[in-house]
Amino acid sequence: MQKSDGRTGSWDAQRLRLAVKAAGVALWSWNVDTDELELDDRSIELWGLPDRHGVTFEDLSVHIHPADRDRVRAAFAATRAIVGPYEIDFRIMIGDELRWISARGQGSDADILDRTMFGVFLDVTGRKQAEEGNELLAGEMSHRVKNLLAIATGLTNITSRSTETSAEMARELTQRLTALGRAHDLVRPLPGNQGSAALLGDLLSVLLAPYDDLGAFSGRIRVSVPRMGVGEAAANTLALVVHELATNSVKHGALSADSGTLDVSCDSPGEDVVIVWTERGGPTTEIQECMRGYGRKLIDRSVTGQLGGSITYDWQPEGLVVTLTVQASSLAK
């Protein structure tokens, strides 16, 4: 145990200083008569001030974010009337750097000493950034859920009109929703402003994999597209289009024949992105008849409505060729 030799007080002060430094706490005091603030080294560094002497609130307010300045000034003036401890968070600008500061103290002149009040500044930038990130994530998830529910409602209405029995409706609706689910699994932010959902090649490969026992790159289905991002809304729309085309191909087109093949290619992206769906080795008459029903309407409506693009069908003797043209900006949404 430390002996009492007259140095215990200074030893406690030293430990307090070390604890304050380790915690990143910045100290301030405010003389209520002269309106001057006295700041420690951490406060000076935090506020980007050249000098600690003769600092007033107006000196600090120069650095407070304009949107927060009036609010902080009003709170600063009212601190003496506040009963109990107070806390206010606000933004400051140090050059081009934005920081979040939390100012804390005791109101109603509690613990005032020689007409001076005391408090602390805390740099809470990390916490505020995390909170903002969580708010953005919650908003994004809410937006996506609403979009998916709207799409599911539309699919239910379309499927109910294109099927005759409840079992058939359940089967087709489940398949369409499953395609949406596979697309949704790929949703993630992409670097370089490429979109906010998935890479086009990944999306097509995942959507087409269930139709090819050997996988989308090595079997009868081949995907060859440049690296480009697809946004969430476009990913959902493409999922429905690809599902309808693939389902028709399995029933009546190239994928219904053992020797049939499917190639999905895309030009290098410019202002317009052109995706070409080419079937070879399957019947053409049957799929042409099939593509006149509600599935065709769903595809056309999705491409022209949701993507603002166009789609054409060419029933060649070798098989069906579908050309989808959409603006690159719409694909990234």
232-252 helix and 166-185 helix, angle to the nearest 10 degrees: 130
Q: Rounded CA gap, 254 and 275, in Å?
A: 18
Give the bridge partners for 280, in sequence order.
261
pLDDT at res. 265: 93
Architecture per CATH, 15-123? 2-Layer Sandwich (3.30)
What are the average pLDDT values for consecutive 10-residue runs of the chain, which has 333 residues? 48 73 79 81 85 78 88 78 77 88 75 75 86 69 61 66 79 74 62 61 82 58 87 82 81 80 84 91 64 69 84 87 89 80
Alpha helices in 163-228 (DSSP H): 166-185, 200-208
Can you read off the two tokens belonging to residue 242? 């690809």
pLDDT at res. 323: 94
SS3 124: coil
pLDDT at res. 255: 80
Characterize 143-181 residue by residue with b for buried, 16 or more Cβ atoms within 10 angstroms of its Cβ, and e for exposed: ebeeebeebeeebeebbeeebeeeeebeebbeebbebbe
Across 250-304, where does the E strand assignment appear?
261-266, 272-280
CATH of domain 129-331: 3.30.565.10
CA angle, corner 302, sides to 299 and 303, nearest 5? 85
Q: Rounded CA gap, 21 and 15, in Å?
A: 10
Domain boundaries, the chain: 15-123, 129-331
CA distances from 91 to 51, 61, 75, 104, 184 (A): 21, 11, 14, 14, 36
Give the bridge partners for 312, in sequence order.
323
pTM of the model: 0.48
* Among 279, 269, 330, 329, residue whose Cα is nearest residue 302: 330
Give the bridge partners for 198, in sequence order.
230
Q: Rounded CA gap, 278 and 262, in Å?
A: 6
Polymer length of the chain: 333
Q: Rounded CA gap, 124 and 26, in Å?
A: 12
Q: Rounded CA gap, 254 and 257, in Å?
A: 6
pLDDT at res. 213: 55
Q: Which residues contact 288 (CB under 8 A, 6 or more apart)?
A: 315, 320
User: What single-letter amino acid sits at 104?
Assistant: R
DSSP state of 64: B
Q: Which residues contact 74 (CB under 8 A, 6 or more apart)?
A: none
Can you read off the two tokens belonging to residue 195? 């979109």
